[in-house]
Structure 1
Amino acid sequence: MSRLNHASFFRHWTVAVPTTGAVGAGLLAALAGCSGGPSRVQPPSISPSGAASEAMTAYDKDSDGFIAGPELDAAPGLKAAMATLDLDKDGKVSEDEISQRIEAWQATGLGIMSITCRVTMDGKPVDGATVTFEPEPFLGENVKAGEGTTSGGMASIRIPKENRPSADYPPGMQFGLFKVKVSKQANGKETIPAKYNTETTLGQQVSSDDPAIMSQLIKFDLTSK
């Protein structure tokens, strides 16, 4: 493949968010090789209406047609995405809003994103912690969990190789709504409070229009109390 053809390929298939400072995010596309031509990592298959219905079944405990208040607290992935999810800005999430959010991810045609997050505890970087992004169950089995280990407080979150949809799948994360868990073991004991792992209140939307990703400030500022 000529140099010109490579340049043309990347202009057509790759969108990037510049990385500055400690935290950055970029959108990735797959490269198939010159003989087979370019291919693109497709978004995971999700039924917007089906996933939205399942979300309401899981979290709308009072059956009023909205996920709000304590119900929203129980869904960190949804709560973290309110800036783009709550279209009418009423502080509640409806079935239609969830469906439209999934449709918005799919409309980008982008299947994977590289993300880096920063973790601090009481203002200090956390080293050696495992950061796990667990997809909200209502998204289905095609959206995969990702993880990374902090160094200097920073962690690149990726789907583990053994869980990627195919052997040539590039590193990164699929679009989605995720519960985020931060864990660090020392002498067989968890050193991070339960509110950040087994009872996590942390969440993150992986999407090109998510404010935290756009501003390159994906950070989890934990407290020991």
Structure 2
Amino acid sequence: MIVLCLPRHRVIHSDPVLGSVLVLLAAVGCGSGPAAPRLPSVDANSAASDAMRLYDRNGDGTLDADERVASPALAKAARSIDSDGNGSIDQREICAYIESWKESGTALVDVIAEVVLDGAPLTDAELIVEPEPFLGDAYSIARSSTDASGLATFVGAHPQLPGLPVGFYRVRVSKKDAAGRERIPASYNDATELGIVVAANAGNHSRFELKSTR
């Protein structure tokens, strides 16, 4: 069955920190400097269909809270995606949310991640930001490291421009001891439950509060 995506036709408001959002303009005024960033090419309906194929375990055509656990970013964005407020999200709603990225005109958002372990800033940790698989091959993995305050920023596919492309991502945190053993529990690493949504109206600061024992 083919499910057609209907755009939301609503205004997308940018983050209050106006400088953190890089808007894709129809024309660039000057010839110098980096080219205007472009949103990765993603077919909204195909991506939404793939999300349902991957996560709709009971085959009822919706993703409930238990099913969304398998996609940390969808779990995080569920309230925004759920346009009818019934507690579940379906293919049309996911598709419409992805289409809203294009309508917003935003390509990159300067994301700040804050990582806290047992209440203290986690320093010198590696953060791997991985696109959710249903977005396809147009997205790439981004990496960063936390500073003395536990903060990290990202540079994605545009090396001259900070920020990540608008999209759904899962976040993996890694920090190893002197013997090379992983200090971070698997629920934040190989089997991560951490996700972020990068969008003009999603905010650009994500705080992750980790526990060393799970």
Does the TM-score normalized on the shorter chain lie above 0.5?
yes
Aligned equivalents of 2:72, 2:95: Cα separation in 1: 17
Amino acid at match of 1:173: L
> CA, structure 1 residues 38+218, in 2 after alignment: closer, same or farther (shift >3 Å)?
closer
- Equivalent pair of 1:32/1:38 in contact (CA under 8 Å): no
Q: What is the correspondence of 1:96-107 to structure 2 with a 5 Å cutoff? A: 96-107=92-103
1:132 and 1:38 map into 2 onto residues whose CA distance is: 25
Percentage of identical aligned residues: 34
Over 3 Å counting, the alpha-carbon distance change for 1:116 and 1:217 in structure 2 is closer
Give the equivalent residue in structure 2 for 1:126.
122
Deviations 1:80-110 (A, max 9, x none): 1123111122221100011001000111122
Q: Is the 8 A contact 2:117 2:210 kept in 1?
A: yes
Q: Distance in 2 between matches of 1:38 and 1:32?
A: 10
4+ residue runs of structure 1 moved beyond 3 angstroms? 29-39
- Structure 1 distance, partners of 2:92, 2:152, is 34
**Which secondary structure state, in structure 2, belongs to the residue aligned with residue 185 of structure 1?**
coil
Cα shift readout 1:41-85 (whole Å, capped 9, x = no counterpart)? 221111111111111111111110011132111111100112311
Contact persistence 1:133–1:181 (CA under 8 A): yes
Instruction: Output the CA distance in 2 between the equivalents of 1:28 and 1:88.
Output: 30
1:18 maps to which residue?
17
Q: TM-score, normalised by structure 2?
A: 0.83
The answer to whether 1:158 aligns with 2:155 is yes
The one-letter amino acid paired with 1:155 is A
Residue 185 of structure 2 aligns with an amino acid whose one-letter code is P
TM-score normalized by structure 1? 0.79
Cα distance change, pair 156–35 in 1 and its aligned pair in 2 (3 A)? closer
Other-structure match for 1:87: 83
What stretches of structure 1 of length at least 5 have no aligned partner? 1-14, 20-24
Paired residues, number: 196
Matched ranges for 1:74-223 at <5 A? 74-151=70-147, 152-159=149-156, 164=157, 170-186=161-177, 187-210=179-202, 213=203, 217-223=205-211
Contact 1:17/1:27 (8 A) holds in 2: no
Contact 2:171–2:196 under 8 Å retained in 1:
yes
CA contact (8 A) 2:65 2:75 kept: no
Match of 2:9 in 1: none
Secondary structure, in 3 states, of the residue corresponding to 2:130? strand
Higher-helix-fraction structure: 1
Distance in 2 (CA, whole Å) between partners of 1:99 and 1:73 is 19
In the alignment, does 2:36 pair up with 1:40?
yes
User: 1: distance between equivalents of 2:181 and 2:161?
Assistant: 34
Instruction: Name the Cα RMSD after superposition.
Output: 2.4
Pairing 1:60–2:48 present: no
